[in-house]
Amino acid sequence: MFLSRDIRAETRGPTDDFWYRPITYRIGGPVSPEQAMFLTTVWACVRVLAETVGSTPLHMYRRLGRGKERVTDNPLATLVARRPNRWQTAMEWREMMQGHLALRGNAYSEIIYGPRGDITDLVPINPDAVRIQITDAGIPRYQVKDANGRERTLLWSEILHLRGMSATGYVGMSPIEYERASIGEALAAQDYGARFYENDAQSTRWIEMPGNFKTNDDAKIFKERWQAAQTGGGRWKTPVLEAGMKLHEVGIKHTDAQFLETRRYKDEDIARIFRMPPHKVGIMDRATFSNIEQQAIEFVTDTMLPWFVRWEQTLSMALIGPEERDDLFFEFNVNGLLRGDAKARSEFYGRGVQDGWMTRNEVRERENLNPLDGLDTPLEPLNMAPAGSQEPTGDDE
């Protein structure tokens, strides 16, 4: 089977010249994921996404005629929920994979098979070490370079490939690369702030002299004396000028340039890139006690749900065989993320138990309590019955 096309430019493999260009803070210039992580807002956004995916329970279920049941005796359920490989916990593995996915648009793990053909390990791969090639039949193959520089080819059945939004269907788009102008601007502002405070938060100063120095040596001597008197131990001392000299400061102050406003805007701009509610990364300008709970729910439904679905469908397609795919599936349990305060939960559970669509043990399980005997039967309100099931009374005649 010959390879028909190479999407190297989209995957940015380890041998690509792109990675050997100088990385700068130039607005619109190259910005690597590692450079972007120097921004606190990028770090916070990626961390929130990674830790949420890593800490939310992920289980295998079996479809029933009506409803579903959790599967605990399948090795794949243990692999995903507890031990993806021999050195990482499920939390660490999912956190790492989601971090790759959020920064680079792609996350890879090699699927390791045992002697009997069963999956035993999911080993993460550095996305920068992967290059995707497409066969004539449209099937992806993965060229992987290890730490020693050796390359090997993995088939699509040997790779768990999580991809973000894609323009080709084969590789996800990196938000850092596509939004390099916005992130580069934020890096430039951060770099400017660092230089400003390194200079003791002092504006640029210049000296006005009514005449000229007699010789160049005189000008050089004055400059050297001035620098020595105003640096080191001489900082903050009152300068003494001669010959009618006047000291001026550049009139642009740190606040006049609206530096803080620029930083705040870029923080919100980066949050938009990751579809992150500002309050989740410490931007509390518009958060109030009256809407913070609703914003927490919107974080699950608007920010995390697409990632959860992406994970669920990719795991089900890559790990579960075709013969079992109609019955088994993976799903995140987001009930814990959607829990309200104690009063709201109490009212919700009370209505569910009283109306009969929730059992008391289901309530206990949601509150992380062990079930009790006799609490698995739904309660039925005495004053309710199916329409038309009651005999008419004399008052109805």
* Token pair of 379 as six digits: 């309660």
Q: How far apart are CA 359 and CA 264, in angstroms?
A: 48
Q: What does the pLDDT read at residue 203?
A: 52
Q: What does the pLDDT read at residue 20?
A: 45
C-beta separation of 140 from 170 below 8 A: yes
- pTM of full prediction above 0.85: no
Mean pLDDT, consecutive 10-residue stretches, the chain (397 aa), reads 42 51 50 83 92 94 86 93 94 96 94 92 94 91 88 93 92 86 73 58 60 75 70 58 66 52 72 87 66 77 93 95 91 78 77 87 82 86 64 57
Q: What does the pLDDT read at residue 97?
A: 96
Q: What does the pLDDT read at residue 21?
A: 46
Q: Is the sign of the CA dihedral 238, 239, 245, 246 positive or negative?
A: negative
How much helix, strand and coil, in percent to the nearest 5, is found in the chain?
A: 40, 15, 40
Which single residue is written with the structure tokens 């593995």?
Answer: 93
